[in-house]
Amino acid sequence: MDAQPFPIEQYLEDALAERFGAPVSVGLNLPGVDELARIAGHRSHRRYTARAVDPALLRLLFACALSAPSKSDLQQADIVHIADRAKVQAIVQLIPDMQWINNAPVFLVFCGNNRRIRQVGEWRNKPFANDHLDHFMNAAVDAGIVMTTFIRAAEAVGLGTCPISAVRNHPHEVSRMLELPDWVFPVAGLCVGYPAEPGRISARLPLEATVHVDRYDETDMKEKIDAYDRRRHETQPYRKQRHAERYGKAAFYGWSEDKARQYAVPERTDFGEFIRQKGFSLK
């Protein structure tokens, strides 16, 4: 989190208003307000200084990240630190439009790991009786929680991060490069380093669109998204229209148009088959 003017409660309110386009009340003397402000002020960073991240600090952050909640204490998340710069460059060659991967002092890959629990069963002479979709989900969610916790820990010590889901665009190559065995799979990469610029708060959908009480509610959802498109366009207009060669140039190009175009073109269509090749049945 960047340095902010005091009182910290005002920074928190301002960050949330910028994020959601509406005020969110923050009480005075609220416990943990510093941590709330850090979460609310989160920014992704794609430019880093040349300053190295101390190995001892990195190990500390790994320990903090792996202190995160784990489904049934199964501990199905691993972190691969790609310290070999040749391997980092090989990943950049797979994802050439994300050069910030190569510029980040640290690059990590967070993996779901359903292998260990299977090995434990074998060592203790017990059958693995849960060969279905949920065991894949448990490992994937554990890895996502660990990565999020790492991001929070990294920001607390002044580091910036940028998640890289695009490692799943090339799961076979990344898996071979990292020598991931059966039942271990990449969930996302993460760039880590000291930010070279402040970054910005990304606008999010209004809470009225994403927070529900007692039941899922889509009342006026299109209108809420249209209003969000306009609000986001005012502060974060897209520099480039996605798949313009296929869909042309839109007179107004907002978040919903961008995401509709993104999911209109097949992407990662081989990921399910990759996961099955890793040994998951997905039944």
What is the full per-residue pLDDT of the chain (283 aa) written as tens digits? Answer: 554 445 899 999 999 999 999 999 998 788 999 999 999 999 999 999 999 999 999 999 999 999 999 999 999 999 999 999 999 999 999 999 999 999 999 999 999 999 999 999 999 999 999 999 999 999 999 999 999 999 999 999 999 999 999 999 999 999 999 999 999 999 999 999 999 999 999 999 999 999 999 999 999 999 999 999 999 999 999 999 999 999 999 999 999 999 999 999 999 999 999 999 999 999 9
Whether the pTM exceeds 0.75: the reply is yes
pLDDT of residue 7: 87
272 and 256 within one domain: no
* Amino acid letter for position 41: G
In contact, 151 and 45? CB cutoff 8 Å: no
Sheet containing strand 184-193, strands side by side: 77-81, 106-113, 184-193, 160-164
Closest CA to 198 of 44, 59, 20, 54: 44
pLDDT of residue 28: 79
129 and 82 within one domain: yes
143 and 61 within one domain: yes
- The answer to whether position 2 is within a domain reads no
pLDDT of residue 8: 92
216 and 191 within one domain: no
- The answer to whether position 282 is within a domain reads no
| 191 burial level (CB within 10 Å; 0-12, 13-18, 19+) | buried
273 and 145 within one domain: yes
